[in-house]
Chains A and B, each alone.
Chain A
Amino acid sequence: EAQVTQNPRYLITVTGKKLTVTCSQNMNHEYMSWYRQDPGLGLRQIYYSMNVEVTDKGDVPEGYKVSRKEKRNFPLILESPSPNQTSLYFCASSLREAGEGYTFGSGTRLTVV
Chain B
Amino acid sequence: AQSVTQPDIHITVSEGASLELRCNYSYGATPYLFWYVQSPGQGLQLLLKYFSGDTLVQGIKGFEAEFKRSQSSFNLRKPSVHWSDAAEYFCAAISSSGGSYIPTFGRGTSLIVHP
A residues near B (Cβ < 8 Å) are 4, 31, 33, 35, 40-43, 45, 48, 50, 56, 58, 90, 92, 94, 96-99, 101-107
Whether the Cβ atoms of B101 and A96 lie closer than 8 Å is yes
Whether the Cβ atoms of B105 and A43 lie closer than 8 Å is yes
Residues of A contacting B: mostly: strand
Whether the Cβ atoms of B101 and A98 lie closer than 8 Å is yes
Partner of B43, one of A33, A97, A98, A107: A107
Give 13 A-B pairs besides A94-B101, A99-B49, A104-B44 with Cβ atoms closer than 8 angstroms. Answer: A35-B105, A42-B105, A45-B102, A98-B95, A101-B34, A101-B36, A102-B44, A102-B46, A102-B103, A104-B43, A106-B41, A107-B42, A107-B43
Which residues from chain B contact A104 at a C-beta distance below 8 Å?
36, 43-45
Whether the Cβ atoms of A99 and B43 lie closer than 8 Å is no
Q: Pull 8 A–B residue pairs with CB atoms less than 8 Å apart, ordered by A.
A: A40-B9, A43-B44, A43-B108, A48-B100, A99-B51, A101-B34, A105-B43, A106-B41
User: A58 vs B9: C-alpha distance in the bound complex, in angstroms?
Assistant: 24
Which residues from chain B contact A35 at a C-beta distance below 8 Å?
105
Count chain B residues whose beta carbon lies closer than 8 angstroms to a beta carbon of A. 24
User: A40 vs B110: C-alpha distance in the bound complex, in angstroms?
Assistant: 11
B residues near A (Cβ < 8 Å) are 9, 32, 34, 36, 41-46, 49, 51, 90, 94-96, 100-103, 105-108
Ranked nearest first, the 7 interchain pairs of A and B with the lowest CB-CB distance are A42-B107, A104-B43, A98-B101, A43-B105, A101-B46, A104-B44, A106-B43
User: A101 vs B60: C-alpha distance in the bound complex, in angstroms?
Assistant: 14
Residue of B nearest to A35 (CB): B105
Residue of B nearest to A103 (CB): B46
Q: A98-B94, A99-B49 are in contact. Are A48 and B102 (CB under 8 A)?
A: yes
